[in-house]
Amino acid sequence: MAQNLSSFVEIQALSDFTMHNLPYGIFSETPDGNKRVGVAIGDLVLDLAALETHGLLQLDETIRYFDQPTLNKFIDSGKANWQKVRQTLQSLLSADNPTLRDNAELRQQAFFKQNTVTLHLPLQVPGYTDFYSSKEHATNVGTMFRDPKNALLPNWSELPVGYNGRASSVIVSGKDIIRPSGQIKLPNEDRPIFSATRKLDFELETAFVVGKATELGQPIALEDAWDHIFGMVLLNDWSARDIQQWEYVPLGPFNAKTFASAISPWVVTMEALEPFKVKGPTQEPKPLCYLEENVANSYDIHLSVEVQSPKSQQTDVICETNFKYMYWSMAQQLTHHTIAGCNVQVGDLMGSGTISGPTENSYGSLLELTWNTTKPLTLSNGEKRGFLEDGDRVIMKGYCEKNGIRVGFGEVSNKVLAAKSFRFTEKEEASYETV
């Protein structure tokens, strides 16, 4: 790890966006303005399209990689260009390099305050897959809804369980979440009712971005999988637990998961995360040979969830956990995803699954934190929560820190809005019964 890279840009001590990070995103000066690629540095956005125009970041004489509304074109240019751009940016931002430092006119054109621009969904997401790779989370859910002695199904320890999600409803941090409605089966009723969900939940996750496409029928070998991963984002995989409980047998999640999956606007590259690699949990039984991995395959990423009630001026930290607890690695997930011949595309998003740790305050969902409302949380203002209520804001944060070097993800933050009204004959109850 390079130590103490210094920049002429002022960077606060606890900033997520240091010289060691330089995550990519899409921004515009106004909500409807020209979208282009930017990099976060301190509290600023560096306009890569401006650098490209001035010949400081030119990868091809005929192709504009950074005057683009998504990151896909740049990502698709390949790993050699990822490395080249990162090195070039670290050089241009260095305190010792006068190219940007001493060019006031160019700095005026290339730098924007983050709080003055609009951040957009950074990717065109062709496909979205969500895994189920936290042993602690899977065990908690299995204990709650099945026999505690057999909380994990037999296949869970043999393969990375996942499902194909809905790419069209992947959204960026800042977009409001409309409470979903659907079929709910109440315990005292013979048939389901139509209702807004009473059990709206978050799921603390990360997701990786596929950086290299494959052909149909061509699996990705485990030793090659890391070359197909561009970077990571924070992910809130929003869930309607009561809709899910009724619909998920026999084919798994559907409407309970399709209404929104929110990601952070900055994509942190795998190169930036490299110094924070750690060995994941011991896997027993030993995976089949195509999934056997004997390298440092996880990351020490500190994660947290905060909830802000509409009746409170402050947030409450309700969960603190770490990515390193994940049982299945991103490489194992990607290899298993493609082993039957499924092709992947640049920009595909692969969710980790809910990240829960071994302690009660490290559970990555309200379902677990409140044990399905049997142990409601008490917020600092005295309010109780079993699940989320209208007006609640959920904020997820993540960062790595080692030897004084910090690399962070920023946050993914969304507010819950009331459900839409439907002119159906079924009677809808006003109360959400969240506790």
d(CA 297, CA 378) in angstroms, rounded, equals: 37
Do residues 205 and 316 both lie within one domain?
A: yes
d(CA 420, CA 302) in angstroms, rounded, equals: 36
Whether pLDDT at 341 is above 70: yes
Whether pLDDT at 426 is above 60: no
Do residues 93 and 137 both lie within one domain?
A: no
Instruction: Read off the pLDDT of residues 84-141 as tens digits, 9 standing for 90 and up.
Output: 999 999 999 999 999 999 999 999 999 999 999 999 999 999 999 999 999 999 999 9
Average pLDDT over the chain reads 96
Do residues 219 and 360 both lie within one domain?
A: yes
- Alpha carbon distances (Å) from 273 to 78, 269, 277, 353: 18, 7, 7, 19
Q: Per the confidence metrics, is the pTM higher than 0.85?
A: yes
252's tokens: 């798994």
120 is catalytic: no
- Domain membership flag for residue 390: yes
Question: Where is the domain boundary, 60, 86, 120?
Answer: 120
Instruction: Read off the pLDDT of residues 140-185 as tens digits, 9 standing for 90 and up.
Output: 999 999 889 999 999 999 999 999 999 999 999 999 999 999 999 9
- Domain membership flag for residue 17: no
Nearest by Cα to 129 from 271, 235, 249? 235
Do residues 40 and 155 both lie within one domain?
A: no
Check if the beta carbon of residue 355 is closer than 8 Å to that of residue 134. Answer: yes
226-229: long-range contacts, CB 8 A cutoff, minimum separation 24: 226/270, 226/330, 226/331, 227/79, 228/334, 228/344, 229/270, 229/330, 229/331, 229/334
CATH number at residue 396: 3.90.850.10
d(CA 189, CA 183) in angstroms, rounded, equals: 12
DSSP state of 396: E
Do residues 98 and 224 both lie within one domain?
A: no
Whether pLDDT at 268 is above 80: yes
Structural domains in the chain (count): 2
- Domain membership flag for residue 43: yes
How many Å separate Cα 225 from the centre of its chain? 19
**pLDDT band at 309; cut points 50, 70, 90:** very high
Do residues 211 and 314 both lie within one domain?
A: yes
- Domain membership flag for residue 422: no
The residue-averaged pLDDT of 283-301 equals 97
Do residues 116 and 135 both lie within one domain?
A: no
**Which pLDDT value is given to residue 21?**
98
**pLDDT band at 364; cut points 50, 70, 90:** very high
Do residues 114 and 160 both lie within one domain?
A: no
The one catalytic residue in 20, 137, 228, 336 is 137
- Domain membership flag for residue 348: yes
**Which pLDDT value is given to residue 147?**
87
- Domain membership flag for residue 136: yes
Tell whether the torsion through CA atoms of 173, 394, 310 and 12 is positive or negative. Answer: negative
Question: Where is the domain boundary, 58, 90, 120?
Answer: 120
**pLDDT band at 397; cut points 50, 70, 90:** very high
Do residues 86 and 147 both lie within one domain?
A: no
- Domain membership flag for residue 425: no
Do residues 183 and 113 both lie within one domain?
A: no
- Domain membership flag for residue 399: yes
Domain, as residue range, for 65: 24-120
Do residues 277 and 337 both lie within one domain?
A: yes
Residues with Cβ within 8 Å of 416's Cβ and at least 6 positions away in sequence, in order, are 176, 177, 179, 200, 388, 389, 390, 391, 392, 393, 394
Nearest by Cα to 170 from 427, 412, 431? 412
| 65 three-class SS | coil
CATH number at residue 43: 2.30.30.230
Do residues 163 and 202 both lie within one domain?
A: yes
